[in-house]
Amino acid sequence: GGELALVATPIGNLGDLTRRAADYLQAADCIACEDSRVTLRLLQHLGLKKPLIVYHDHNAEEMRPQLMERLQRGEKMALVSDAGTPLISDPGFKLVRAAAAAGIRVTALPGPSAPIMALILSGLPSDRFLFLGFLPPRSTARRGELAEVAQVRASLILFETAPRLVDALEDLLAVLGDRPAAVARELTKMFEEVRRGPLSELAAHYREAGPPRGEIVLVVGPPAAAVPADAADLDAALGAALAKMR
Ligand code: SAM
């Protein structure tokens, strides 16, 4: 029967393509991709030629029936995005939903994903996190969305473009307060950099230095109260709460 495989591809360093991913791309009948030029470059690197079907946010409704028809015909299909893990701020979830509903086998070949790599390099709590994707480009809308998550006891992960980095850091500072944070840039590439510090320092740094180059993930620590308390702190807090109840 047909099979849909969600295949992760590198986020910069071609060495991060897994052996399983390469084997699957070779064995697949067709590859659904976002930008055919980007995927062609990857296939060239692997010495492969495959039918490509362009599937992105703007043609998904129109293309999904064709993809489903191929799967139902018994084809093995790989879904890739331009970089990283498909479906993570990239197209695919409706195709997965449709394939699963039609009883088609869906599997994933895991690999690089920029938000997870940024989180684990940030030095911020990684036990609970909320991935926000891209926030709205306009400051008012961005502050509104941040206000909605300000109380969440988790690290926040978000994407931002280099030209908007300073504005975004200033909005984060204004809405969330001066939390610890990290700017992760050009991950897995030659100029990979992770800058860690309070939001105020990061904003000041990039205001001074000017917008950095390249692709960026921002990670912001949880609100101060969410920092795991040690046993003594817990005892004191419990004591105070009990005293109030008497
Ligand atoms: N599906 C992808 C993944 O799993 O990593 C994310 C796709 S999203 C459309 C693209 C955004 O991811 C970029 O704008 C940037 O914020 C982030 N990104 C992708 N590659 C990156 C890299 N090498 N370094 C830093 N951020 C990266």
User: According to the model, what pLDDT value does residue 245 have?
Assistant: 75
Q: Which pLDDT score, from 0 to 100, does residue 70 have? A: 98
Q: 143 alpha carbon to ligand 1 midpoint, in Å?
A: 22
Q: How far is the CA of 210 from the centre of ligand 1 (A)?
A: 21
Q: Which of 187, 190, 193 to mutate to test the pocket of ligand 1 (most atoms within 8 A of CB)?
A: 187
Percent of the chain with pLDDT over 90: 91
Rounded Cα–Cα distance for residues 200 and 39 (Å)? 39
What pLDDT shows up at residue 229?
A: 60
158-182 mean pLDDT: 98
User: To test ligand 1's pocket by mutation, which of 34, 58, 217 has the most ligand atoms within 8 angstroms of CB?
Assistant: 217
Q: Please give the structure tokens belonging to residue 141.
A: 């809308």
pLDDT exceeds cutoff 90 at 231: no
What pLDDT is recorded for position 243?
80
User: What pLDDT, on the 0 to 100 scale, is given for residue 236?
Assistant: 73
pLDDT tens digits for 24-67?
Answer: 999 999 999 999 999 999 999 999 999 999 999 999 999 999 99
pLDDT over threshold 80, residue 159 = yes
Q: How far is the CA of 246 from the centre of ligand 1 (A)?
A: 53
Which ipTM score applies to this complex? 0.99
pLDDT class of 246 with cuts at 50, 70, 90: low
- With a cut of 90, say whether residue 240 has pLDDT above it: no
Q: How far is the CA of 55 from the centre of ligand 1 (A)?
A: 18
* Distance from residue 61's CA to the centre of ligand 1 (Å): 24
Q: Which atom of ligand 1 is nearest to the CA of 12?
A: 23
Which of 34, 156, 159 has most ligand 1 atoms within 8 Å of its beta carbon, as the pocket-test mutant? Answer: 159
For residue 111, the CA-to-ligand 1 centroid distance in Å is 13
